[in-house]
Structure 1
């Protein structure tokens, strides 16, 4: 158990000393903070997810006690499901102190816990590495891609926020957006490919199509020849990269599990890309200028999820940068300083919920988490409109569309559903429990913003559920402990419109 908790940290330290010894001291100094950040995310899961080996959660005067199925008790601080600061520095299992998340999971001795512990160990070490080389007092970015590279800690609530299995230290430094590298794409020529939309001229050669490929994919997955492509700026998702000078974004396939999912590109998403993009544009046009959707220019697959790519517009296409407007991903909003203002946060919350609820009423549920959702700011920082990107995981309800006289797109598969629970989970779990919660940073701040914003929200049929029901969110840790289950698993958080409680689950 002790060896596992130190393994990834020590191995990364050894690799780092070989490739970037100048970062060794700051990496070592950052390990305690990284452990607390991952432990905070893990404690959120233990306090709120329906884990079968937790039989009861009991609030106490000084925190929260979890009663385990084997009779043991785990005690920690009060659990704020919307907090983003690392406030959990230790928990106690039967009185024994644990400050390392991997060691805690091993001590819990639960089914599939070994694999999760290894991922948490990697996440902690990688997070410390991500923090090791950050610039101090750097000026605020101008471009949206530079704002993305300021998001150092990854997913605000996932314990695997920085887990990058299969990436060496040198590769993390070379490809991780937080390290601000330039990444050269590979270009693989293909004779037979599934193509949707328009494929740009720079990705054609001698009558053949060229598929842009991430260099990690070239080194670890594909065994095909490639030529050098352009230098690009990696974005938050790591596998999506921005061409320079406001060029389009290239979403590449990386067959590695980053946070929860393997980041390849399914043939289904390529097949549906053009139809979904055209439909989303038409729906966004109904939002009175409050929403723009980055257009998918083209998508291609060599009939394999390992060799595929999507080209889409840059979010900056929807901002008047000459007039001083700027585009910032919601995940980066806390770095702007704007979210410390309750009035600003309430105004942004009002904008986001107005768009999200109106779309949901029409029949479109966005997966509007902090990475997919961006906001256009005025020169003075006012939120003007939203930009949404990456349409692969939205949900569309033909029945709701029909009620509003809107023709449903010719789609099938997972994107199409009339199930009310599925639609609300998609929007509420990503937008409220994800984007808005992480922008607010705590339950009290989120509650204040929501209560202020709700006064001006349209009275859509889904608003009562948002105000009164527990808030759905993905059970991210349960999903990692359930390797044989496919699809998303869910839990319910205390409704942020009301005073938070220790847990919504028994």
Structure 2
């Protein structure tokens, strides 16, 4: 993995932000290209691009880099710009579809990362380990072609609100006439005004038709998702609409999702009642203002529980995505091989059974990817509790529920396996394997045992039996989804080897 300002080389000057950003962007694009498009060739680490017939060789494992193109007489190094051109030519030939937007997004993502890396050097490191983990994601989604893209805008638009530079800022307070105010659920924690994200206010042209009441006294801390902020003084999270494309979607709180929130909230109120330990950060309700007939989308804000009422005493919550990417104080850094196995076992036992319980007992698919899971660790850094968040991403199995964000059972299970195995466990296991390469098989043998034990609790369901026997698991094809300009909520799967079988057979 490329170094960041948090993990500098032991000697010499820090890396140049432009070079570091190009390396991060190259890794993200290679991950997508290898997973979604390329075919393995010989020798090892050589990949064939099937539509154009070109051969690509890469260095590294979990985070590939330094791409080389096969040419007459040997291998030629590729710059990021050349790799982008190579990728575009392959996708045009393979799909029959042209796209000028995605190459520009990839290069924009690189430029954003360079600006963030430069600004991050002067940003004080938070004393709070939770905030360090939440603001650690300089690489971001490891399997997205443009993980740091900010809608094509320049640093003046997004730098003041970016978690990567440990941003905090006051929220804008708006006075909304009664006839235009929209509320659902419990939003009493907001008081009277409507809080708004200042970046969204700017994106909406300053909202000249609504009277501003000033700003919040306390500062909101940017979290990994960018549009969700944490209010430490109130111990509260607020999730806003943000009309910017980040990864696959424009991050607006869409009306069809907001309408599902009461159904999801009522169902999740008791989903963990019969399990000790795990907890859900509740999305209590939302407030908004009718704006030009939009039904309240543009200024919607969801009120989410803070940490205090959920995290057990003596524990420190950490964002799973931050643990996978790395930050100063990451508990993985202090583990020898034996301790790493204990850590992983605890992580599995706290994360996997609640997710399977929600699905098998209640027909609920938690969106348990790395950015939606917090693991609370004890004084020794060992996982002792799992917390899940974001009701907007929750789906309900259509065969078991009459209303809500429904998915058929096949698609629902695919989504769960992707979020839990491919996105979450593979990345955490990858971070451990990077530190202790000899543990790979044992990590997945233990994971398989936890899945199998959970299955026995629910009568050995067919879904789990098939998962443990499957040759592959689904991975989301983010590069192809962007290239084909799919809807942000669309799913397109590619198979990847099933680690629950591959390393345990």
Q: CA deviation at 1:122?
A: 1.0
Instruction: Specify whether residues 365 and 128 from structure 1 end up closer, same or farther in structure 2 by C-alpha distance, changes over 3 A only.
Output: same
Maintained 8 Å contact 1:281/1:292: no
Cα pair 1:130 1:153 within 8 Å, conserved: no
Alignment partner, residue 197 of structure 2: 214
- Could you report, residue by residue, the CA deviation over 1:91-145 in whole angstroms, capped at 9, with x for unpaired residues? 3164543230434435547233421111110111212222334459987743533
Deviation at 1:387, TM superposition (A): 0.7
Q: Partners in 2 of 1:384 and 1:359 — Cα distance?
A: 19
> Which residue pairs with 1:44 in the alignment?
31
1:420: Cα distance to partner? 2.8
Distance 2:152 2:196 in 1: 17
Q: Which runs of 5+ in 1 are unaligned?
A: 1-25, 205-209, 401-407, 501-506
TM-aligned CA deviation for residue 27 of structure 1: 9.7
1:89 aligned counterpart, secondary structure: strand
| Shift in CA distance, 173/78, structure 1 to aligned 2, threshold 3 Å | closer
Partner of 1:395: 395
Q: Could you say what secondary structure the match of 2:143 adopts?
A: coil
Change (3 A) 1:316 1:156: farther
How far did residue 213 of structure 1 move? Answer: 1.6
Partner of 1:346: 345
CA–CA distance in 1 between the matches of 2:141 and 2:131?
Answer: 17
Q: Which residue of 2 aligns with 1:75?
A: 56
Cα 1:130–1:197 shift into 2, 3 Å: same
8 Å Cα contact 1:248-1:312 kept in structure 2: yes
Q: 1:310: how far off?
A: 0.3
Aligned to 1:10: none
Determine if contact 1:144/1:326 at 8 Å carries over to the other structure.
Answer: yes
- Corresponding residue of 1:63: 45
Structure 2 contact 66–77 (Cα < 8 Å) conserved:
no
Rounded to whole Å, the distance in 2 between the matches of 1:67 and 1:104 is 9
Matches within 5 A, 1:181-200: 181-190=167-176, 191=178, 192-200=180-188
Match of 2:113, SS state, is: helix
**Structure 2 unaligned spans of 5+:** 1-12
Kindly indicate whether residue 485 of structure 2 is the aligned counterpart of residue 488 of structure 1.
no
Distance 2:486 2:119 in 1: 38
- 2:306 — aligned with what? 314
Asked if 1:239 is matched to 2:227, the reply is: yes
Q: How many residues align?
A: 446
CA–CA distance in structure 1, aligned partners of residues 380 and 123 of structure 2: 21
User: Does structure 2 retain, via aligned residues, the 8 Å contact 1:47–1:79?
Assistant: no
Note closer, same or farther for the CA distance 1:152–1:41 as it changes in structure 2 (3 Å cut): closer
* Partner residue of 2:19 out of 32, 45, 49: 32
When normalised by structure 2's length, the TM-score is 0.81
Match of 1:278 in 2: 266
Aligned residues of 2:447 and 2:500 also touching (Cα < 8 A): no
Once the two structures are superposed, the pairs formed by residues 295-374 of structure 1 within 5 Å of their partners are 295-301=282-288, 302=290, 303-320=295-312, 323-334=313-324, 335=326, 336-338=330-332, 341-362=340-361, 363-374=363-374
Bigger relative contact order, structure 1 or 2, given CA contacts below 8 A and separation 6+? 1
Distance 1:229-1:476 versus aligned 2 partners, 3 A rule: same
Q: 1:102 aligns with which of 76, 79, 84?
A: 84
Separation (CA, whole Å) in 2 of partners of 1:388 and 1:498: 27
Matched, 1:431 2:431: no
Cα separation, partners in 2 of 1:41 and 1:93, compared to 1, 3 Å: farther
In the superposition, the TM-score normalised over structure 1's length comes to 0.80
1:453 aligned partner: 447
Distance 2:319 2:427 in 1: 12
SS in 2 for 1:228: strand
